[in-house]
Amino acid sequence: MTRSPSIDDAIVNELIAIERSLWSNDAEIYGDTYIANAVLTFPVAGRLDRDAAVAAIRRENADGHAWAEVHFDDLQAQWISPGQVAALSYLATARWNYQTAPSVTLCSTVYVQRDGWKVALHQQTVADEPGE
């Protein structure tokens, strides 16, 4: 894991724990973790606000879709504004419960300190398969 020298391990671990919780595909966690005017960008869904993302997760849940496995690699954490704004980026290898093969996605999340760490921006970009 790479991180700026001044970011504390406890904060990095907290951000990673929050990030992992978001991959549980729980609409309530999304609603509680993203700020009201957050922006989320996904390869297929495009740009969403928090409410649209929560609604999409509820639809996925209703369809029985959930992440069966998720692995993070190449984690990087850095301050954007020390103590107030932090960025976390990583490579996610994840597989939906209805798929046989995982996808590989580059992810970046910007966290802001607002009564705890909250997500202001999250973007996913489809990555090449390892070795390509």
Q: What is the pLDDT of residue 6?
A: 73
Q: What is the pLDDT of residue 18?
A: 97
Each residue of 47-65: pLDDT tens digit? 999 999 999 999 999 999 9
Q: What is the pLDDT of residue 96?
A: 94
Q: What's the CA gap between 23 and 66, in Å, rounded?
A: 9
Q: What is the pLDDT of residue 3?
A: 46
Decide if domain 2-126 falls under CATH 2.40.240.10: no
For residue 18, the tally of other CB atoms under 10 A from its CB is: 18
2-3 sheet: strands from edge to edge:
2-3, 67-81, 85-96, 103-113, 117-126, 34-42, 46-49
Check if the beta carbon of residue 72 is closer than 8 Å to that of residue 20.
yes
Low-confidence ranges of the chain (pLDDT < 50): 3-4, 130-132
End-to-end CA distance of the chain: 23
Q: What is the pLDDT of residue 131?
A: 44
